[in-house]
Chains A and B, each alone.
Chain A
Amino acid sequence: MAGPDLALLLSALAMLLLRAVGLLVAGALRPEHPLVAWAAAVSQATLAAFVALAVAAPGGAAASVPLTARLAGLGAGLLAWWAGRGRLLPALLAGLAALVAVRGFG
């Protein structure tokens, strides 16, 4: 088996293990249990950090989008979300359109 294939297989097994350990540890805990509340806080904080990094300091190909375009996309998306009373699809499209437009002017 080639290196990338083996790395993929090992990673896929590790992903199943991570999820399985989470389900096992949760067992019959109720949603209010402190361990569940801690896990939810860590998950949300991870997601927030992921978004902050994707906007402020992305890696890979996304880094080729200028910071002004990324900020414009985020700002326009949030503004459209607020104006649309929380509707996600128009907000997502508005954010992407703003990103593409600002990058085009850059």
Chain B
Amino acid sequence: MAPIIEIQNVTKEFKVLNRREGLKGSIRDLFSRNYKIVRAVDNVSMTIEQGEIVGYLGPNGAGKSTTIKMMTGVLEPTSGQILVGGNVPYKNRTKNAQEIGVVFGQRSQLWWALPLVESFKILRDIYQIPEKNYQEMLDFYQSLVDIQPILHKPVRQMSLGQRTLSDILAAFLHDPKIVFLDEPTIGLDVSMKAKIRTLVQALNQEKKTTVILTTHDMGDVDALCRRIVIIDKGKMLYDNDIDHLKSFFGSYRTLKIRVEGELKAQAQAIQKELPEFPVTADEEWISILVDEDKAKVIDVLGRLQSSCRITDMQLQEISSEDVIKKIYEEGVK
């Protein structure tokens, strides 16, 4: 089967105004302006199969939204080719729109003053969803989360969590092939986050909907995605399994120890002893980031025991959050 999304060598450039500073600058801007070209997305390629959940990550301003806008047909790429479900999104915007659903964490697309169920009915008409499918979908929703309490509530009276939930349900209503979720859990409490993750997972399982998820919350990624794509400054940094990411980046583990004596001073002494690993100290623990390709944790521990008295210890696997942070900071070597 052909992949649902194919992106080949896509680049998008914007012309932006260079504003001058201060009152004088503003007056000069009035008469002469200079523009610069910014490359928001730079030669990006990827293919996504039906039914995948892909985490699309990158720091703020990396080009994530621009890519999504191109996939949804809002923006035309400067160069390169995008196919979504066999369509060129920019050329067939309405046809493409029938096949996709979009959720922006902070921007509700529902009718502000209307009860949720009325928004659903309007969407049913807009997407021409057969009555039978519509009812089945509502029943399916009810089996996943209790939608009764929010169904008759106007969107403007909902809490942020309820609103996000409603937006996600609305995006899946017409059984689209792809759903784009842009920071769906931003600003939500822990239990709401968990609820939304379970919901997305279930919808993906049941309806085989492809999900493209952009987020800054690694909890979302760990819970939902097997594959992640990382982009920064418009360039693709990484596209592979999330498990692969950790080994790809070297096998780091953090060894945390407590020793007798003042921690800061002790940490400095340990750093001298283990020059190859970074050592840090906080109020409670001394942390040593061990690269297991260079030395096993157990050996490091052995070396330390000969020089100081260890009273307590902990071992931490590196989290995907740490890895992503490292990638943002240093790039892929």
Mutual binders A and B: no
Chain B interface residues toward A at CB < 8 A: none
